[in-house]
Structure 1
Amino acid sequence: MERLVEPGLYREAMSRLVAAVHVITTHGEEGRAGFTATAVASVSDSPPTLLVCLNRRIRSASAFRQAGRFAVNMLAGEHQAVAESFGGRTAASGEPRFSVGHWREGALGVPCLQGAIAVFECRLVEARTIATHDVLVGRVEAVTLGPDGGKLAYLGRSYRVI
């Protein structure tokens, strides 16, 4: 018989994991969309590939599959307001979220945050549904390096600069 870990206990344990904070963005037929994520990982450097976990319950979830391209914006310590806006901690949703921070159009036509520690522009090569999330695998086609200052991290259900 399979034993399942109680979701609240799992969330509490995961809150003790230090994670870098990113804003994942896209631009498709319905306009620009984005969300805050800590579940980002490198898959390979040859070819450069990364993955992002996207909660399918967010409004913009379908936009990422439809657009087929996205940017992973690694946030600097000064970008907490950006993380909060795209993480649903403010009343803003959709396009108004992009009023926080300074955005430019990247090489793939996706929104890229100016001043981010790094921006990875990706073409979607695979999407898998696992439980409540989609795992988006992207081939990195462009990288922009920003200032190498303090990074925004998430620990204990709050933001920290490291």
Structure 2
Amino acid sequence: MVSASSVRGSAPSLGAEPFRDYCRKLAAGVAVVTSCGPTGWSGTTVSTVTSVSMDPPLLMCCVRPCSQTLAAIRAAGRFAVHLLTDDQAGLADRFSRSAGEGSRFAGIEGQVQLVDGSPVIAGALAVGWCDLYSLDEVGDHVVVYGRLTNMRAGQGRPLVWHERSYRHLEVAPPDGVNGRGGGS
């Protein structure tokens, strides 16, 4: 059996730039995570949302340790995860800015409602409400685990991040069309 400690020290670190190049090849859904802390509404764009467990229903996202959204999640003990549609790139940009957290909601107040203790932005592909399950500091981020307590699904296609830009998924033709699939 291989232990985690024996694997960690087995090879020199790859380095930041090759690692970034590798990660650019990953296609990731884009989401906005929101919470309501002592200083009010807070939110940030993430490209790391992953299902972790079906029982209990857990998901995870990664945020920076200095994030005001992380502080709000810690204080509130709950948060919402908005999976964005492919026409919400502007919203993703808005919540990825480094400006003050409050300014991220400026001008869209009419599209936001407080639901189950978290600000919810209208029009998302899906919104999941989570109770904070646990936090884990890993490298230069904090992994936030949430227990999904409720969800609402909308319509549309997901916004995807790949090669440092937003991408749109296209529906693939059925098997057998354009020479794919089919018989022998």
Question: Normalising by structure 1, what TM-score?
Answer: 0.90
Structure 1 portions without partners, runs of 5+: none
Match of 1:81 among 90, 97, 100: 90
Q: Percent identity?
A: 32
Closer, same or farther: CA 135–45 of 1 in aligned 2, 3 Å: same
Shift of 1:137: 0.7
CA contact (8 A) 1:117 1:146 kept: yes
Distance in structure 2 (CA, Å) of the matches to 1:47 and 1:129: 22
Structure 2 portions without partners, runs of 5+: 1-9, 170-184
Shift of 1:100: 5.5
Equivalent position SS for 2:43: strand
- Report the counterpart of residue 5 of structure 2 in structure 1: none
Distance in structure 2 (CA, Å) of the matches to 1:100 and 1:84: 14
Distance in structure 1 (CA, Å) of the matches to 2:61 and 2:107: 22
Equivalent position SS for 1:142: strand
- Report the counterpart of residue 3 of structure 1 in structure 2: 12
Q: Deviations over 1:84-121 (max 9, x none)?
A: 01111xx7531221136522222x21011211110010
- Report the counterpart of residue 73 of structure 2 in structure 1: 64
CA radius of gyration, larger in: 2
Structure with higher strand content: 1
Relative contact order (alpha carbons < 8 A, sep ≥ 6): 1 or 2 greater? 1
Count of residues in Structure 1 that have an aligned counterpart in Structure 2: 158
Match of 1:150 among 157, 163, 167: 157
CA contact (8 A) 1:85 1:100 kept: no
